[in-house]
Chains A and B, each alone.
Chain A
Amino acid sequence: MARILITEDEADLRMALRARLEMSGFAVVEATNGQEALDKMKIEKPDLLILDMMMPLMDGMEVIGRMRASDQLKAVPILVLTNYDFGFMKEVAKEGGVVEYILKAGLNLDDIPVKITQILALPDSPPSGLNMSALLDELK
């Protein structure tokens, strides 16, 4: 069964996500911030990363940048679930290889396992040869 890493700083949301995904039979690993997510990914080797954008210590954008720079992690598909819809963020994240960028508040919990199944069914697509550091520079 597919293994999902949930990166989410809000405990309530983590709890709800875990409950729902386990109902659909996914194995769930949790991380509360970006740094933890990167660490856990190396150990747990998840099939998919659910990533929040605004988190303490290391935010989602930084995680994306680091993953894309790492040979080991760059193939892991990312599903961004965030409430941070500052227009251009979505564009940048997508250029950084994020498969889906969804506003959490607008998403029915039941849709998440569906999305995950869809993403996992996609053929492996190598992330675009984009200069992430330039992208991140632009963000700052």
Chain B
Amino acid sequence: MAKSHPQPTTQNTINRLRVCLSTHRYLYLFIAQVAGVLILGTFFISLLAIYGTSTVRKEFLDEARIIAATLDHADLSADLGHDKQLSASYQRLSDMLSKTAKADAKIRWSYLMVQQNGKVLFTVDAEPISSPDHVAPFSEYQQAPTALLQTFLSGQEKASKTYTDQWGTWVSAFIPIKDSNGQLLTVLGVDMTASTWSATVAGYCIFGTIIVCLFLFIVIFVNLISWRWRQTNHRIVDLNLTLARELDQRQQAQTLASINEEKYRNLYATMNEGVVLHKLLYDPQDEATDYEIMDANAAFATITGIKISEALGKHASQLYQTTPAPYLDIYANVVKTGIPTHFETEFSPMHKCFKISVFSPAPDYFATIFEDITEHKRAELELRHEKDNLNALFASSPVGLLLMDENLMIVESNQVLDDMLSRDRDNVIHHRAGNGLGCIHSLENVKGCGFSTSCGSCPLRQTLMQVVRDNVPVHRAEIQPTLDIQGIIQQPWLSVSAEPVLINGRKHLIVAIESITDRKQTEKELRDNEQLLNSIIENIPAMIFMKDTKNLQFKLLNKAGEAIFGKSKSAVLGKNDYDFFPRDQADFFTQKDREVLQHKQLVNIPEEPIETPNGTRFLNTKKIPLLGVDGNPEYLLGISTDITAQKNLQDELIRAKANVEAKVEQRTEELNQSQLNLQEALKTAKDETAKITTILDSIGDGVFVLDADRNIILANPVTLELSGFTRKDLLGHPYNHVLQFVDEKTGKDVSEFMDTVFTRGQVAEMGEQTLLIRQDGSKLPVADSAAPLKDLNGAVIGCVVVFRDATKQREIDHMKNEFVATASHQLRTPLTALRWILELLPKPEIGPLNPTQARYVDRLHASTLRLIDIVNDLLNLSRLENGKIDLKLEPINLLEQTTVVINNIRAMAYERGIKVECKAPPGPLPHILADRTHLQAVIQNLIANAVKYSLERGMVEVDLSLVGDRIQFKCRDDGIGIPKTQQKQIFSKFFRADNAIAQTTLGTGLGLAIAKMIIERMGGKIWFHAIVGKGSTFYFELPVARLEFK
């Protein structure tokens, strides 16, 4: 039934127009792209050009500045001579200019200029006189560019724009050269030809130009490809349309042809669908009555089981044995109208289902193409059946049921569920789980189960998601969601079971929901009851215990029981009497227990003693058998009351009654006796006070006592004697109003030392130079200490001060010091004479010594010096040890001190070929707090040691550094080192290591001992590392002075 549809011309025109337009649109787009790239590119290149110009200008100026810097100012100020005879200064300047200008190929010319009377005059030219380009000095520069004039005017350097003068077109840099007073001497001009300038700037743009060209190329290329592709595409579409039209016509032609030709068998023989050609048969009234099978393919035989030979030429009613022929009406209609149709049917004679397509290839003919869809139908039917089953299940189930898809969308629910949640069916079905059940947290618009994201921990959601994810059923998960049930927020307990099922090949969930709120309520009540009972049992003051009937092991024990047993529950439960009691007692208990169980009767044991960790307790115990459902004892319950106290009381009462009379008598006697004792005690107390007073009075030191308010409450006669005050002056007065203790040197009050006794509760001593101001104003040297008086709780309630006359002691100290000083003077005086005379002896003025004599004198001199050193060291040491050296701590620059010492030692080091180096971090080190003289002695000692014990041509390295809030001094040598075994003694007095003695006889063995004492007295630390044969490193550290004094 081919119908030709004439193509409307207008449509055609529109199509053509569209193609045309689209081609134009493409052209516009292309032009726009190219224009865009060109505009952006130009912009980009301009930016590069600007950048290039500024960079080249900067470099040019830099270069000119360098040239200017090479010029000698003296020459600039000097006379240049005149054109005929140029001065040496001119020559030097010219040479320098030409040399520097030649160094850069870009620079064409350089020259110097001055301005006089508003005219610019050339002074020095880089071009030699021989050059034709040479400009004579002081000739006028008539075409001077604006930039040059500006430079003269402002004294600022300047790069000119391109300008032209008589020599050519230039870009120039003008650098003003000024003398030290800022007076403009001259201006240096450096020229670059305009073409060089442009080329240099262009160099910066090349890269940009290349990029822009590249972009342009890419745009053109892409558009070309895209245009070609479109062209091809258009052609393919056109081709397809033509093909399709042709195919349509051919197909119809073929179908027609196939009716008459045998060829169609080849075409359809291989088809899976059965194809049958029929001819419709009519009765005289032109009504279709039957149809005849004209042809059929192989598949027809396979599907229907009817041989083709049997079918051909047969009437349908005959072949299929039905009246009328199957689907006659449908087929007749197709033939009549020419409209093809298709339908599905169950063909009962064959018990098969078919999908049949019908069309009429020619008048009165119709072809059917059919396929067997029996299996498919069966599956469909089964599915329907399954659904019916499901529906039946849903309808009949006593529990609430839901069917959900894998997105937890509710597909089906049953009445039980709807009733349970009091929800309309419409509000349940086609809602997600949470929303369908009325969970108050759920939001319909959230993908997934319908819970909001805040419900991540919701157990219902987790349960359902788990089933979907793991494909494993969940049984009776107990969940308590918060639901809106008829407008009331409730939290029913639900038991949820969910099972994954496949429906129509898709995963679904069947969810059974049962309300277990009632059960939960009952459970809770039971639990509460049990808890109540347990708590009663636990807290009842009588011991309650329960044993099992088999082994009589304890199954329950309450708090009171624990108390009586003296053991914790965990130690008792699961054990029996034999574990706690002696065997005979345990036997007795067990016998009683068995009796109770056997007779199923309560037994009362009025009084039984048991041994516990708390001693013997007496218990009144009732034992009761607890019967199980079968009437046999299941447990043995025991209730025991501790009657020990009661029993003791009774015993005591009896004893008391018996003794009451004797007691009364005894008490009376005791009363008399205690009165006597009291008198005795009073007397003793009086004696005690007298004793203490006597002791205090006879003590040789002054003793006084202060109360918590620092009032004097007691003072002995020596106190009165030493201070000159009377007891009346002192007692009851704050001590510092009367007794004044002052420092001998400063005259300041030192009585605050007693405050430390009160505040810290510790013994305190006065300074060594304390004076007591006596009643008559005279001063008495005293030595004293104060100790706190404490009550039972350790609180300070007072203070005892003991002091004595220290006049003699002070005198002795003074004498000692005097003696040391005098002795040292006496020792030194002959030594000095010895030294000086020995220093005179080798003088030529005294007379010549022979070499041996000279050597002897030298040795004598050395020994004398050593003796002097020893005396000095000993003296220092003795003072240090007695604390008699007053160190004057002041901020000191350690580097300065070290340098002084090194300079002193250098001569001695030089003699032995030893290098002494000093290193310190850059920048000033903070000052240290030290005594200058003694610090110098320490440094001297350490560096001298290093030099002394270095090998010939050795190296001594002194290194200062800041370590935290201390400065570290480090002196390293690569000398003989110190033997490991002797390292411990190195700071001892008179100690010298074996290898040191072997090295030199000089040295007192006191230096390091003194150094250590000095450094430690100044709050520092001294130590060393040494390896025999490798060298030693000595360190000391001293604290940084907190305040820097200028």
Contact = CB atoms under 8 A, between A and B. Distances in A.
A109 B840 contact: yes
B886 interface: yes
Contact of A110 (B829, B831, B839, B872): B839
Interface stretch (B660-668, B820-828, B939-947, B957-965): B820-828
A86 B821 contact: yes
B797 interface: no
A87 B886 contact: yes
Given A83-B832, A105-B871, A16 B837 contact: yes
A106 B868 contact: yes
A49 to B, nearest CB: 19
B885 interface: yes
A104 B839 contact: no
A106 B940 CA distance: 15
Contact of A104 (B832, B843, B845): B832
Interface stretch (A17-25, A65-73, A116-124): A17-25
Interface residues of B, number: 24
Given A87-B886, A109-B839, A13 B821 contact: no
A82 B826 CA distance: 11
B835 to A, nearest CB: 7
Q: Choose among A12, A83, A86, A104 the residue with the greatest number of B CB atoms under 10 Å from its CB.
A: A83
B244 interface: no
Contact of A16 (B840, B868, B886): B840
B267 interface: no
Interface string B802-840: 000000000000000100011011001111110111011
A83 B828 CA distance: 6
A83 B833 contact: no
A85 B835 CA distance: 18
A40 B286 CA distance: 182
Contacts of A15: 837
A17 B839 CA distance: 11
What is the interface of chain B mostly: helix, strand, loop, or mixed? Answer: helix
Nearest to A112: B836
B843 A13 contact: no
A24 to B, nearest CB: 10
Nearest to B830: A12
A23 B833 contact: no
Contacts of A13: 829, 832-833, 836
B836 A109 contact: yes
Nearest to B833: A12
A83 B825 contact: yes
Contacts of B839: 16, 20, 108-110
Interface string A97-116: 00000011110111000000
A85 B824 contact: yes
B816 to A, nearest CB: 12
Nearest to B821: A86
A10 interface: yes
Interface string A74-94: 000000001111110000000
A27 interface: no
Given A105-B868, A105-B871, A19 B840 contact: yes
Contacts of B871: 105
Contacts of B837: 12, 15-16
Contacts of A16: 833, 836-837, 839-840
- A: contact size bracket: 20 to 34
B843 A83 contact: no
Given A84-B825, A85-B824, A87-B886, A10 B833 contact: yes
Of B822, B840, B886, most A-chain CB atoms within 10 Å: B840
A30 B871 CA distance: 29
A54 interface: yes
B824 A20 contact: no
A13 B437 CA distance: 123
A76 B691 CA distance: 72
A80 to B, nearest CB: 13
A44 B979 CA distance: 62
User: Which of A83, A103, A104, A105: most chain B Cβ within 10 A?
Assistant: A105
B840 A83 contact: no
A111 to B, nearest CB: 10
Given A19-B840, A23-B843, A87-B886, A109 B835 contact: yes
A84 B821 contact: yes
A34 to B, nearest CB: 16
Contacts of A23: 843, 845
A82 B817 CA distance: 18
Contacts of B872: 105-106
Contact of B840 (A20, A86, A103): A20
Nearest to B831: A105
B352 to A, nearest CB: 135
Nearest to A10: B829
B1002 to A, nearest CB: 16
Interface in B827-885: 828-833, 835-837, 839-840, 843, 845-846, 868, 871-872, 885
Interface string A28-56: 00000000000000000000000000100
Contacts of A87: 885-886
A10 B822 CA distance: 15
Contacts of A85: 821, 824
Contacts of B868: 105-106
Nearest to B826: A83
A87 B824 CA distance: 13
A51 to B, nearest CB: 15
A127 to B, nearest CB: 23
Nearest to A87: B886
A15 B817 CA distance: 31
Contacts of A106: 868, 872
B831 to A, nearest CB: 6
A12 B828 CA distance: 13
Contacts of A83: 824-825, 828-829, 832
Contact of B828 (A86, A104, A109, A110): A104
A106 B837 CA distance: 14
Nearest to B844: A23
Contacts of B821: 84-86
A105 B845 contact: no
A20 B829 CA distance: 18
A121 B830 CA distance: 32
A109 B840 CA distance: 8
B883 to A, nearest CB: 13
A87 B882 CA distance: 14
Contacts of A86: 817, 821
A6 to B, nearest CB: 12
Contacts of A54: 822, 825
A89 B297 CA distance: 145
Contacts of B885: 87
A60 to B, nearest CB: 12
B885 to A, nearest CB: 7
Contacts of A104: 828-829, 832
B810 to A, nearest CB: 15
Contact of B836 (A20, A82, A84, A103): A20
Nearest to A111: B839
B817, B830, B836, B846: residue with the most chain A Cβ atoms closer than 10 Å: B836
A23 B833 CA distance: 18
Nearest to A22: B845
B372 to A, nearest CB: 131
Contacts of A110: 839
A78 to B, nearest CB: 19
Nearest to A54: B825
Contact of A17 (B825, B835, B836): B836
Given A12-B830, A85-B821, A103-B828, 5 more contacts: A16-B840, A84-B821, A84-B825, A105-B831, A105-B872
20 contacts: A10-B833, A13-B833, A13-B836, A16-B836, A16-B840, A17-B836, A20-B840, A23-B845, A54-B822, A82-B825, A83-B828, A83-B829, A85-B821, A85-B824, A86-B817, A87-B885, A104-B832, A105-B831, A105-B871, A105-B872
The 3 closest A-B pairs by CB, nearest first: A12-B833, A16-B836, A83-B828
